[in-house]
């Protein structure tokens, strides 16, 4: 009987000791579930970041990048990126940097996809221009993410140089298309020297592959550069029409036909002859030149009848 009591006491003590030990240690099964849960969230983020590499190069994916970035922030706020606060912060920083790098590399590929094709849509160029500025300025914890001297940094410089040359040519074309001269004085003349300078510059662009191997792919710029002689010729013709319209019917202010001829007719004829300067290689040159000569002849005939009566 005594032995039985001793045995029961030992069993009770052993049970109490086991209970105390187990109550002070986190159950392995609970630890395993917590780790598996965090690992699942991390795997989701990593897979989504990796999937950016598989996206096509011909479609920009900024919205997908923004979505993943938001997901990282949400998991961070919920404490799902680590088993403790420090780990949660560190994993957020790691994934944010990784996402930035992967997206930046994909964005660069997508930008050069545009540059390698002949159709440069203005909305694509505007996106590239704005996204380069955004990514260059992007920070994490006060630190610029795009490090100077890296491959991506150098690619951004190349992209900006491409856009700079593109803008230069676009502005030049715009200046040529809007070029005009509106002076109507008889001693005023269309500035042929400026026309020659613009034609020379447009030919230089065309003969030197638009001075950039990627800009040279833009068919729209080539077409518009080739149209500059016509644009400048049209401006010259408009100047002559405007000037002739201003002086039309003004032969009556002269006392004699000789005075009219010396002071008005000869100067307008000089202006028309300046159009035939050899610099305009356009298809409608002969039609417009003949039309202007005929216009002057009609005015001359009216003056003749005026002075004959």
Question: pLDDT class for 37, splitting at 50, 70, 90?
Answer: low
Q: Is 175 exposed, middle or buried (0-12, 13-18, 19+ CB in 10 A)?
A: exposed
CB contact at 8 A, 34 and 78: no
Residue 33: pLDDT band with limits 50, 70, 90: very low
Pick from 71-80, 122-131, 215-224: least confident: 71-80
Q: What are the backbone angles phi and psi of residue 140, rounded to the nearest 5°?
A: -140, 120
239 pLDDT higher than 50? yes
- The pTM of the full predicted model, rounded to 2 decimals, is 0.83
Predicted confidence at residue 123, as pLDDT, reads: 97
Buried b (16+ CB within 10 A) or exposed e, 251-275: beebeebeebbeebbebbbebbeeb
| Structural element, H or E, at residue 142 | none
pLDDT, position 309: 82
Residue 8 has pLDDT above 60, yes or no: no
């Amino acid at each position: 009987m005594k032995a039985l009591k001793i045995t029961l006491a030992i069993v009770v003590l052993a049970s109490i000791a086991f209970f105390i030990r187990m109550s002070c240690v986190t159950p392995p099964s609970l630890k395993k579930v917590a780790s598996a849960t965090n690992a699942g969230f991390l795997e989701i983020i990593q897979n989504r970041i990796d999937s950016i590499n598989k996206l096509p190069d011909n479609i920009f994916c900024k919205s997908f990048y923004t979505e993943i970035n938001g997901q990282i922030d949400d998991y961070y706020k919920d404490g799902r990126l680590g088993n403790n606060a420090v780990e949660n912060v560190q994993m957020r920083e790691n994934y944010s940097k990784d996402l930035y790098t992967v997206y930046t590399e994909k964005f660069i590929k997508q930008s050069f996809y545009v540059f390698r094709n002949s159709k440069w849509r203005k909305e694509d160029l505007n996106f590239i221009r704005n996204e380069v500025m955004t990514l260059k300025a992007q920070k994490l914890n006060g630190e610029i993410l795009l490090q100077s001297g890296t491959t991506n940094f150098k690619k951004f410089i190349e992209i900006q140089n491409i856009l700079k040359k593109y803008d230069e040519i676009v502005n030049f074309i715009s200046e040529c298309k809007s070029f005009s001269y509106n002076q109507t004085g008889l001693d005023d003349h269309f500035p042929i020297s400026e026309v020659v300078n613009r034609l020379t510059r447009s030919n230089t662009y065309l003969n030197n592959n638009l001075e950039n191997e990627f800009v040279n792919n833009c068919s729209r710029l080539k077409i518009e550069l080739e149209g500059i002689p016509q644009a400048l010729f049209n401006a010259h013709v408009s100047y002559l029409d405007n000037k002739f319209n201003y002086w039309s019917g003004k032969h009556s202010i002269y006392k004699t036909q000789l005075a009219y001829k010396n002071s008005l007719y000869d100067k307008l004829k000089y202006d028309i002859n300046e159009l035939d300067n050899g610099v305009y290689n356009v298809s409608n040159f002969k039609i417009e030149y003949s039309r202007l000569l005929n216009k002057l002849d009609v005015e001359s005939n009216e003056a003749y009848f005026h002075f004959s009566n």
